[in-house]
Structure 1
Amino acid sequence: MVGDILTRAWYALHTKSRFENVVNEGLAKRNLDVFLPKITVKSRRKDRHKMIRVPLFPGYVFVRTDLNPYEHVEILKITGAVRLIGSTRGPVSIADATIDSLKIMVGTGEEVITGTQFKKGDRVIVVNGPFAGVTGVFSSYRGDGRVIVNIEALGQFAAVNVHADDVEKLPEILS
């Protein structure tokens, strides 16, 4: 990097599960450009029917940095920050136009439809509901936002039917 001119760009910062707001606030307190796109959805809790604001991309916030070593370390020292998304060569920047488009999308107040596309065989973990903490293998989509997850035990598979929002893909390191 010696001789390279550092230019500011947007990067996706992976966070611990449910730490998006903590990381967003921590970065903002350090006067860094940060963007946490949120959308309004209906709460899925059975005991109440209210609208709540949730991250558009659970587990991620966007930060604008030039990746100078000091700032890079400061970003990763934020409670709940895991790593900047990238390849073996380092973090990969995101085009300004992409971030601008996301800002427009979440700023309109219109419904934004999201979802994670799982592929058959993906290692997943159930993060909400009665099966929270269970790891398994994604099997198929059932419709109405439901998915089938196969759980292996004693050399046999058992399948559970859970809501797609309650399932997250395991990082490849953990799978």
Structure 2
Amino acid sequence: MSIITLKQEWYVLHTKSRFENIVYDGLEKKSKEVFLPKIWVASKRKDRKSMLHSPLFPGYVFVKTDLDPRDHLDILKTTGAVKLIGNNNGPVPVPKQDVESLKIMVAADEEVRAGSRFLKGDRVIVLEGPLAGVIGIFVHQRGQGRIMVNIDILGQNASAVVDEDNVEKLP
């Protein structure tokens, strides 16, 4: 009888919205190796300015596991956990060097930003500012935190550059 040893690898765990910290704490209590990259971002509240320690990838944490069925189930039973990210064949591991590089980036005193939250063609709405209420199509990134939104009216296009923090993706 041969014994199969499973290899510990990093996987991305999708969480419920705003449950990253709860999932992180829950997995730590279960003695799992878990990583939640966080960065400092300015608060979006109008009444006061402060810096918040927010997840770099909202809705995701990294967990190291060998995907033993009991371990996999234990991870998914964590409050706020949704699923391990993968394809039709199951969860797909993240290269160890990518996670290590991410840990170094987050630990440094340099500004770290994730890519745009929007994909070309996403329908978006402007929430704040002089263009509040505008519904359009995300066109592309225009530098530090600025995006271009396009509206199609009367067969012609009108575009505006707005602050990415003031825009939300429509379902």
TM (norm. structure 2) is 0.75
**Aligned partners of 1:40 and 1:31: how far apart in 2?**
27
Residues of 1 paired with 2:64 and 2:125: CA distance? 30
Q: Relative to structure 1, is the Cα distance of residues 92 and 20 closer, same or farther in structure 2, using a 3 angstrom cutoff?
A: same
Alpha-carbon distance in structure 1 between the residues aligned to 2:96 and 2:141: 34
Match in the other structure for 2:155: none
| CA distance in structure 1 between the aligned counterparts of 2:32 and 2:14, rounded to whole angstroms | 16
- Assess, with a 3 A threshold, how the Cα gap between structure 1 residues 77 and 108 changes in structure 2: closer, same or farther: same
Q: CA deviation at 1:168?
A: 6.6
Partner of 1:78: 78
Q: Deviations over 1:73-106 (max 9, x none)?
A: 1111111111101111010101111111111111
Check if 1:119 corresponds to 2:126.
Answer: no
- SS of the residue corresponding to residue 52 of structure 1 reads strand
- Flag structure 2 segments of 5+ consecutive residues without an equivalent: 129-134, 152-158
Name stretches of at least 5 consecutive residues in structure 1 with no aligned partner: 130-134, 152-158
Distance 2:144 2:95 in 1: 34
What is the CA–CA distance in structure 2 between the aligned matches of 1:124 and 1:13, rounded to whole Å? 26
| CA gap 1:124/1:45 in 2 versus in 1, 3 angstroms | same
Question: What is the number of residues matched between the two proteins?
Answer: 162
* Separation of aligned partners in 1, 2:34 and 2:64: 6
Measured against aligned partners, the alpha-carbon deviations of 1:121-153 in whole angstroms (never above 9, x if no partner) come to: 236699x87xxxxx98645556663556789xx
> How far apart are the structure 2 equivalents of 1:136 and 1:81?
32
Partner residue of 1:33?
A: 33
Q: Larger Rg: 1 or 2?
A: 2
The letter of the residue matching 2:60 is Y
TM-score (norm 1): 0.73
Task: Give the aligned residue type for 1:10.
Answer: W
- Which stretch has the larger CA shift, 24-33 or 107-116? 107-116
Residue type matched to 2:26 in 1?
G
